[in-house]
Amino acid sequence: MMNAVLIRNAEVYAPERLGVQDVLMVNGRFAAVGKDLNVVMPGLETIDAAGKLLTPGFFDQHIHVTGGGGEGGPVSRTPELVLSELVACGTTSLVGVSGTDFITRSIENLLAKIRALAAEGVSTWMYTSNYRFPPTTMSGEAAKDIFMVPECLGVKIALGDHRSSFPTVDQVIQLLADIRLAGMISGKIGVLHVHSGNLHGEFEMFKEIVDRGFPIRHIRPTHCARAKYVFDSAVQFAKAGGYIDITTGGSCCFDSPADAFIEAVGEGVDPARITMSSDGHGSKPRFNDKGEMVGLAVCGIECNLETIQKLVREKGQKLEDVLPFITKNVADSHGLSTQGRVADGATADALLFDDNLELTDVFAKGRQMMRNREIIVRGTFEE
């Protein structure tokens, strides 16, 4: 059965500003974007979006979809994500990650969860492994996971954190070489997604690896505004041609994550090298100077939307300048050319906002998930 939706008269941000346009979605893809589209097809649903803004759906590359935490024992394991949480904040694409717990949070479970979310209607990928080195994998080798699992875009490890494994430079560059070769064989970029802690040494390691001739494009640090040292190092890394990811949930060395984006651009970072993610459903442990956990909370996933709103409403940024951080830049950094944009042939993920940048409607793969601020599609076991 054909699924066709025509959205008329929206102010379209693709994420670049296109002005008032009509947008046609057919069978999960954008089929046309233009003025006064003349469309005749059976079962066509037409929505008048006059006065509203239309953007791509948000792409969050760091969500603990199976739950994170565990640093305080079994009771501190954070819960799994449910579909309605994604819909509520306009997240239509994601990369699932694992965290500290390498024993009870298996990579097989992560794969099953992202496939479940995909079946429920959003676009999903994953990184194999967690904080550990050598990586925790499904097949026994990180390279095989990347090659054999279509959704697997790369490997996650932690560096510069008291919970990480502290691999040597040579060990990290060997892992990167495996990731790069597996990516070449499987037609992916192949990335090393790095949880950045507060300890010194991580970015010095990256610089040595790049200076030895390894392509910087495969190294992807996240939590890049957690501490001032990390932020300053990340700025230099981005100026050298790398991508940096700023977490909108959790700790930040600025008054808000919004300020981190403004500061990074002000320091001369190419905005196309900056991405945004939530760390959703990860734990937010607080440790004392002895490394003892003294508190724990859970990261939400709505913080990406809140940061975009803050950048536009309070910081005076143009919507078309900040939208790429959570749409096109994320997709491009992973070689996913049909994601994160409103364009012919792209996946039909779209959001509608009112003139105060409040989210009103969500479409994922052309299917309406939120209508007039009401979530109309929920997960399989949601009441």
Annotated binding site: 62, 64, 69-71, 100, 131, 156, 163, 195, 223, 226, 279, 283
Cα torsion 373, 376, 382, 383: sign:
positive
Which amino acid makes up residue 198? Answer: N
Please report, in range form, the residues annotated as the binding site for substrate.
Answer: 69-71, 100, 131, 163, 226, 283
Query: Are the CB atoms for 30 and 54 separated by under 8 Å?
Result: no
Point out the residues that are catalytic.
279
Measuring CA to CA, which residue among 301, 383, 349 is closest to residue 122?
349
Cα separation, 287 vs 147, whole angstroms: 38
Q: Calculate the alpha carbon distances from 146 to 131, 172, 173, 331 in Å.
A: 17, 17, 17, 17
Helix intervals (H) in the chain: 83-88, 107-120, 142-148, 169-186, 202-211, 228-239, 257-266, 303-313, 319-322, 328-333
Cα separation, 21 vs 8, whole angstroms: 7
Cα separation, 8 vs 38, whole angstroms: 11
Q: Would you report the helix, strand and coil content of the chain in percent, each value rounded to 5? A: 30, 30, 45
Cα separation, 353 vs 351, whole angstroms: 7
How big is the chain by its Cα radius of gyration, in Å? 20
- At residue 206, φ and ψ (nearest 5 deg) are -60, -45
